[in-house]
Amino acid sequence: MEYTHLGRSGVSVSRLCLGTMNFGPVTDEPDAHAIMDRALEHGINFFDTANVYGWDRKGWTEEIIGRWFAQGGGRREKVVIATKLYGSMSDWPNDTFLSARNIRRAADASLARLQTDWIDLYQMHHVDRSTPWDEIWEAFEVLRQQGKVVYFGSSNHAGWHIAKANETAQRRGRLGLVSEQSIYNLLTRAVELEVLPACRDYGVGLIPWSPLHGGLLGGVIRTTEEGKRRLEGRAKEALERHRPAIEAYEALCAALGESPADVALAWLLAQPGVTAPIIGPRTIGQLDRALRALEVSLGEDTLRELDRIFPGHRSAPEDYAW
């Protein structure tokens, strides 16, 4: 396993992050525990979750992870656990967003569900435009002073939000954000405009979610033609909208002798500023296959061809700041 620092922090995390959103609603608890054990065997030490995961049964995923930690064997000590807050945990008005009150209550609730004394990375799942940054950082500072949280990160924030957050933290004499979790893949490259440049400038590690764009970059044309997958609704519409590019992409991957999923992950790993793409395996087999991406080396010609198929924003932020 390869490791890197989480942004400008000193903590080392694996180049692949284990996403746990499927644990509970899709993957049952015994299988989820087996996947986490296998992840540790492979050297994956970076796990991501959120307090709302479990969806109809919010908190379920954190509970599953907590019972896995409780088995001992160094599980908690080996893992850099990241969780998130923002989403509504009840129908009451103060159990949502980023008020100091909700930050305090949400952190304590996540700690209880995770059966741990501390959260390594506490992330704001979305932007709260109604709560001042000074209030957010004051609440975060208390959590850090209490030893409940080590690092703080954001998710789905714009470049402006990252700048504002870190400038406020710096004014208060604090470290600020060390990570941003955003959608980023070959098909969705908007973060290259301002989010990724802001992250690089502030030393914030980017953690891409949906690296395969819901499976469209995972060999979707071949699997549907072979009858292994059936697309309906928005997934089918997305494929038809991007079919020429995806056909060219799958042909390139075939010429390379690599699976499309591995190439998509390897491309992200090659991007400056990216810490670790989030993989969300539903089975141990999917986890094992994802590790192949760490061995895929993409040459300059291949990277240029991928940019031709999926145009990005290589000159950002100067795309429009001329």
How much is the pTM?
0.94
How does pLDDT run across 122-160, given as a tens digit for each residue? 999 999 999 999 999 999 999 999 999 999 999 999 999
Query: Could you tell me the CATH number of the domain that includes residue 28?
Result: 3.20.20.100
Is 320 inside a domain boundary?
no
Is 89 inside a domain boundary?
yes
pLDDT of residue 236: 78
Active-site residue flag, 122: no
Is 258 inside a domain boundary?
no
Select from 208, 317, 199 the least CA-distant residue to 270: 208
How does pLDDT run across 80-119, given as a tens digit for each residue? 999 999 999 999 999 999 999 999 999 999 999 999 999 9
Select from 61, 177, 58, 68 the least CA-distant residue to 116: 68
Look up tokens 């945990």; give the residue. 89
State both tokens at 317: 């932020």
Mean local confidence (pLDDT), 167-178 = 97
**Confidence class of residue 247 from pLDDT cuts 50, 70 and 90?**
very high
Domain with 29 in it: 3-213+267-298
Residue 121: how many other CB atoms lie within 10 Å: 27
Report how many domains make up the chain.
Answer: 1
Distance CA 146, CA 159 (A): 30
Which of the two residues, 229 and 307, has the higher pLDDT score? Answer: 307
Is 255 inside a domain boundary?
no
Q: Exactly one of 53, 122, 202, 249 is catalytic; which is it?
A: 53
Is 197 inside a domain boundary?
yes
Is 220 inside a domain boundary?
no
Q: Share the mean pLDDT of the chain.
A: 95
**Confidence class of residue 239 from pLDDT cuts 50, 70 and 90?**
confident
Distance CA 4, CA 98 (A): 29
**Confidence class of residue 221 from pLDDT cuts 50, 70 and 90?**
confident
Is 241 inside a domain boundary?
no
Is 257 inside a domain boundary?
no
